[in-house]
Amino acid sequence: MNNLKTKQNRISTLENVLRVTVIGLLTTVLLSCEGPDGPEGPIGPAGPQGTAGVDGQDGTNGTNGTNGSNGSDGQDGADGNSYEDYFNDFEEGSAAGMNFYGDATWFIANKDITGGVTDKDVNTALVNGDIGDSQLIGLSLQLNSEIDQVVEFDAWISSESCCDYLIWYVNNVEENGIAGEGGPFHFTFYVPAGTDSISFIYDKDGSVSTGTDNTHLDNLRITNYSTTGRKDFSMPDLPTSVRLLKERENKN
């Protein structure tokens, strides 16, 4: 009886060993017979964005570039005449600094045109040369002053009173003028500081000549406004035979 149980136990043990061996073999066979890898699965959704990193420190400034070379200076402008206290009574026979132009020229001549308007005896004056109808004769002075200036002069006229005028200008703008018969008369006008031009022009219209048909200029003075004291810029009393340019313009 005991021998029988012993045999049965041995048989059972052998069966278990055999079973384990068979399972191991089958597992080995199955593992060696795996098929090819399957296709990759789809990519999963992106994860959430991370937080931004902190900014880095600013870099140091670069060195300044070298300065370019200076441009060349422009040419200096021509200097005008600077008249601090100019006076010309033409007694010396000189018209220095004046620019003559027009259809004739000016000349210095002995003329008896004294009238008590200055403290000087007037023996000579600047006289215009003969011009015809529709012609003119002029002279100009270029001034350059940092101070306002006053221009004074004496004038005598013998012309057609309606139309043939001696006219004086500042920077090509009419100041005033006279026509007719008489003189000398003393006139004064103002010139602003800076570079300026003063001009005197005797201008004839297209017809008629009256009297000697010319004009005389004398005792031209240019002074600083600040040193002349209070000046009277009003027109002198003129006879009915002499007409002011501004009066003609106002009537027109």
**Residue 32 pLDDT more than 60?**
no
In this structure, how many other beta carbons lie within 10 angstroms of the beta carbon of residue 165?
A: 27
Most confident listed range (29-43, 176-190, 209-223): 176-190
Name the DSSP class of 36.
P
Q: Looking at the domain that runs over 85-251, which CATH code has it been given?
A: 2.60.120.200
Give the per-residue pLDDT at 71.
63
**Residue 61 pLDDT more than 90?**
no
Q: Which of 87-101, 117-131, 185-199 shows the lowest per-residue confidence on average (mean pLDDT)?
A: 117-131
Most confident listed range (110-114, 173-177, 207-211): 173-177
What does the alpha-carbon distance between residue 175 and residue 168 come to, in Å, rounded to a whole number? 6
Give the per-residue pLDDT at 250.
57
CA angle 125, 130, 136 (to 5 degrees): 95
pLDDT band at 113 (very low <50, low <70, confident <90, very high): very low
Q: Which of 95-99, 117-121, 166-170, 205-209 shows the lowest per-residue confidence on average (mean pLDDT)?
A: 117-121
For 70-107, write each residue's pLDDT tens digit. Answer: 767 656 544 444 445 789 999 888 998 899 999 999 99
Percentage of the chain beyond pLDDT 90 is 42
Give the per-residue pLDDT at 134.
93
For 134-147, write each residue's pLDDT tens digit. Answer: 999 999 999 998 88
Percentage of the chain beyond pLDDT 70 is 68
Give me the torsion for CA of 187, 190, 191, 193, rounded to 10°. 150
What value does the mean pLDDT take over residues 60-64?
74
What value does the mean pLDDT take over residues 201-208?
91
Closest among 150, 224, 211 to 183, alpha carbons compared:
211
Give the per-residue pLDDT at 21.
63
Pair 200, 243: CB distance under 8 Å: no
Q: What residue ranges do the domains of the chain occupy?
A: 85-251
Pair 153, 172: CB distance under 8 Å: no
Give the per-residue pLDDT at 172.
95
Closest among 238, 89, 112, 120 to 178, alpha carbons compared:
238
Q: What's this model's pTM, rounded to 2 decimal places?
A: 0.62
